[in-house]
Copies of this chain bind each other. A is one copy, B any other.
Amino acid sequence: MATQIEAARAGEITPEMEYVARSEHLSPEFVRDEVARGRMIIPANKVHLKKGLKPIGIGIACRTKINANLGNSALQSDVECELQKVHCAISLGADTIMDLSTGPDIVGIRQRIIDASPVPVGTVPIYQVAEELDDIADMTPQHFLDVVEQQAAQGVDYMTIHCALLREHLPLVEKRITGIVSRGGSLIAKWMAVHKEQNPLYTHFDDLCDIMRQYDVSWSLGDGLRPGCLADASDEAQFAELKVMGELARRARARGCQVMIEGPGHVPMDQIERNIRLQMEWCDEAPFYVLGPLVTDVAPGYDHIASAIGAAMAAWYGAAMLCYVTPREHLGLPTLEDVRQGVVAYKIAAHAADVARHRPGARDWDDQLSRARFRFDWEEQFRLAIDPETARRMWEETARPGTSLHAKYCSMCGPKFCSMRLSQDVARLEQSSEQPAAKTVSSR
């Protein structure tokens, strides 16, 4: 059975392409052409499709997508809590979720998440391998391939694998302030440092492609050398790996696989555009899936904001998917509330970029909400808000007891100082009168 890219190349329009075309307001032929060219991917494992996955397109022609990371750790683990996070993230608009579990019962949690998720699910297979071993240095290539096969058979839609971090890149990391900050990258780096051998995920790339192709699991080529602070951004290590990612993207496509590329990380605002352009050039416009980037390192506790700034800019410049960052990044495993804050911040970033790129229909949402705002239709404002529950709660918390939802003001300005109310008075006064030429007030 052909993968999406193979079908597209053969001129076929699959039901998934049809579905994506409808939801993106694009023609099926256009979606097919973008998929064939590798500029759009439809991460849809055939196993997950049978379980009710709703396909999405990821690429510059589509609405900007956002991903929410979930999953337990050795120190925080509760399956029901992770499933609550899945539901919360999806209800607030996460387009994909990644199960990044590193704690107990990785395989079982993953199955529950895939079964519960109508959106594509991604994983980082090396976490399972590392969890099953005492030391990552004990990993054999076959062990890794077996885990990838197991996860593919479970229905994982895309996998982050750090194939492009090569042994010769390790010396480039020495100058950095924060070294390697990708977990997968640091695990594979340790393997290489111990064995003094090349990255086995690089040397076994074709074998990995063959498994991915069989289920149509999309590649998410992991950026093991993404910068972990502003000082390390756009350095030799990062760009050396990006070049290899371009080579592997071409090889994966040649073997019938869909590919996207992961990107940074921590990047000052003035370097974001260059990062996006280089990725497009070196990776033949494969969809770029960026983590933030954070535009400053000084905001632990608020990194959803520091990174939403970079994410909005990255998406405006052409990134296709944004991996959220929660307020608890760098400090601990996100709670349910952190997931909410992260998803909303990224939904804002993604939508702002869709508006800025003039994606068809994007601004209609803003216009609808603003019309409701001007006519003091609070219910409609809440309904249209990214997070209706929070908008309503905030209004209610500071409304004077007894203030009704028909009030033509809020507690910020009160009735006398409400500019929109005054503005409506002005419009009535202007319309009801002849409009003589403006005169100046000479009396004081």
Say yes or no: A351-B440 contact (C-beta < 8 A), given A130-B417, A302-B390, A414-B74.
Answer: no
17 contacts between A and B (CB under 8 A): A74-B415, A75-B400, A170-B430, A189-B422, A193-B426, A193-B429, A195-B441, A196-B433, A196-B435, A197-B441, A269-B356, A301-B393, A301-B394, A302-B348, A329-B412, A331-B391, A333-B411
Query: How many Å lie between the Cα of A327 and that of B426 in the bound state?
Result: 29
Asked if B308 contacts A373 (CB within 8 A), the reply is no
Say how far A240's CB is from chain B's closest CB, in angstroms. Answer: 13
Name which residue of chain B comes closest to A295, CB basis. Answer: B352
Q: Digit string of A276-310 for contact with B (CB within 8 Å is 1, else 0)? A: 00000000000000000001111111101110110
Say how far A428's CB is from chain B's closest CB, in angstroms. Answer: 8
Query: How many Å lie between the Cα of A362 and that of B173 in the bound state?
Result: 24
Residue A111 lies at the interface, judged by CB distance under 8 Å to chain B:
no
Query: How many Å lie between the Cα of A398 and that of B400 in the bound state?
Result: 36
Stretch with Cβ within 8 A of B (4 or more), from A18-26, A179-187, A211-219, A252-260: A179-187
Stretch with Cβ within 8 A of B (4 or more), from A33-41, A47-55, A226-234: A226-234
Query: Could you tell me how many residues of chain A have their Cβ less than 8 Å away from some Cβ of chain B?
Result: 140
In A400-440, the 8 Å CB interface with B consists of 400, 403, 410-420, 422-427, 429-430, 433, 435-436, 438-440
Name which residue of chain B comes closest to A169, CB basis. Answer: B438
Query: How many Å lie between the Cα of A297 and that of B365 in the bound state?
Result: 8
Asked if B269 contacts A426 (CB within 8 A), the reply is no
Name which residue of chain B comes closest to A174, CB basis. Answer: B427
Q: Which of B198, B344, B412 contacts A302 (CB 8 A)?
A: B344
Q: Which of B168, B305, B374, B382 contacts A305 (CB 8 A)?
A: B305
Say how far A443's CB is from chain B's closest CB, in angstroms. Answer: 8
Query: How many Å lie between the Cα of A423 and that of B193 in the bound state?
Result: 10
In A160-193, the 8 Å CB interface with B consists of 166-168, 170-171, 173-174, 177-183, 185-187, 189-190, 192-193
